Each structure stands twice: as structure tokens, then as C-alpha cells.
């Protein structure tokens, strides 16, 4: 009988040990601090100047996928106030002139302009978010860079 009790006690101890290991691993993971990111001499370049007053943020393109062949491209553009006025005159022509996408925009369906909460200061920028589908249709939203929209 003593041998059976000893075996049962051993099994129970091993089971308790096995149950407590994941908890201890989680506690240890929370206590560990992430490794410091090494500083490099080259900074990641996100914004590229296309022209005076026009910058494009590099947005990675989706890889080709047969399941979803018609993925849109995205662009984020920063414009000075003068360039924004030029953009508003002919949005499609402005995007094509600055070669934002590999293919020209043939049709610009939607346009949304956010209304700023505050007056336009002297040193301000507008941000455009452009979606471009393979059929060369684009949708554009513009946002003020100096305040959030109303």
C-alpha cells in the first residue's frame, strides 16, 4: 500500500509541476525587457520629395496573389498650401503629373476634403490618402495637417 501511495504522490507532484510551468514561463516573459534596438547610421527614409511642396510617403505594395488579383495601391502625399490649391484645380492630372502610381489614373471617382477645426496657419500642410485600383480608378481623401477634422 505504501508503494501505491508513493506512486500516486509522485504522479500528483509531476502533474502540479507541469501545470505550473506555463504560468512561470508567462511571468518570466513579462519580467524580461525587450532587447535594445541597435542604432544605425542610416535612417529609414519614408518621405520622398517629388517636387517643390510635394512629398510622397513610401507605402509598400501588396505582393501579387492569384486569389486577390485586383488589390489596390495606396499613397500618402504631403502638400504645401500652394500645391494643395493646384491639386484642387485638377486632382487626376495632378496625381498623373507627379507619377504617384505605376499606371496613370483614368478615372477619379470619390473625393473627400476634411473640414479643419482651426484656421489655416502660415506654415501648414495638407495630407492626401489615395487609393488606386488596377482598373485605374482612384479615390482621394484630404486632411489638414495642422488640426484634426471637424
Residue 55 vs residue 68, higher pLDDT: 55
The average pLDDT across 29-56 equals 68
* 22 and 73 together in one domain: no
Domain ranges, residue 83 = 47-144
Confidence of residue 142 (pLDDT cuts 50, 70, 90): very high
Most confident of 8-12, 109-113, 120-124: 109-113
* 1 and 61 together in one domain: no
* 8 and 57 together in one domain: no
Sheet order of strands, 107-113 included: 47-51, 54-57, 73-79, 126-132, 137-144, 107-113
* 71 and 130 together in one domain: yes
Alpha-carbon span 49 to 26, nearest angstrom: 46
pLDDT per residue over 5-41, tens digit each?
545 555 454 554 455 555 555 555 555 555 455 545 4
Number of domains in the chain: 2
Confidence of residue 63 (pLDDT cuts 50, 70, 90): confident
Is 82 within a domain? Answer: yes
**pLDDT of res. 109:** 87
* 83 and 9 together in one domain: no
* 75 and 52 together in one domain: yes
Question: Phi/psi at 13 (nearest 5 deg)?
Answer: -60, -45
Query: Is it the case that residue 66 has pLDDT exceeding 60?
Result: yes
**pLDDT of res. 76:** 95
pLDDT per residue over 124-140, tens digit each?
899 999 999 888 999 99
pLDDT per residue over 78-98, tens digit each?
999 999 999 999 999 999 999
Alpha-carbon span 123 to 12, nearest angstrom: 71
Global confidence as pTM:
0.65
Amino acid at each position: 500500500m505504501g508503494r501505491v501511495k508513493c506512486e500516486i504522490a509522485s504522479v500528483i507532484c509531476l502533474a502540479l509541476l507541469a501545470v505550473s510551468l506555463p504560468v512561470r514561463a508567462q511571468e518570466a516573459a513579462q519580467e524580461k525587457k525587450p532587447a535594445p534596438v541597435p542604432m544605425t547610421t542610416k535612417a529609414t527614409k519614408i518621405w520622398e520629395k517629388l517636387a517643390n511642396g510635394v512629398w510622397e510617403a513610401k507605402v509598400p505594395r501588396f505582393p501579387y496573389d492569384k486569389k486577390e488579383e485586383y488589390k489596390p495601391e495606396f499613397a500618402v502625399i504631403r502638400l504645401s498650401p500652394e500645391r494643395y490649391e493646384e491639386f484642387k484645380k485638377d486632382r487626376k492630372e495632378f496625381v498623373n503629373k507627379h507619377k504617384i502610381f505605376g499606371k496613370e489614373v483614368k478615372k477619379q471617382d470619390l473625393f473627400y476634403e476634411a473640414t479643419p477645426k482651426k484656421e489655416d496657419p502660415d506654415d501648414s500642410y495638407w495630407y492626401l490618402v489615395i487609393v488606386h485600383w488596377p482598373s485605374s480608378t482612384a479615390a482621394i481623401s484630404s486632411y489638414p495637417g495642422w488640426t484634426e477634422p471637424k
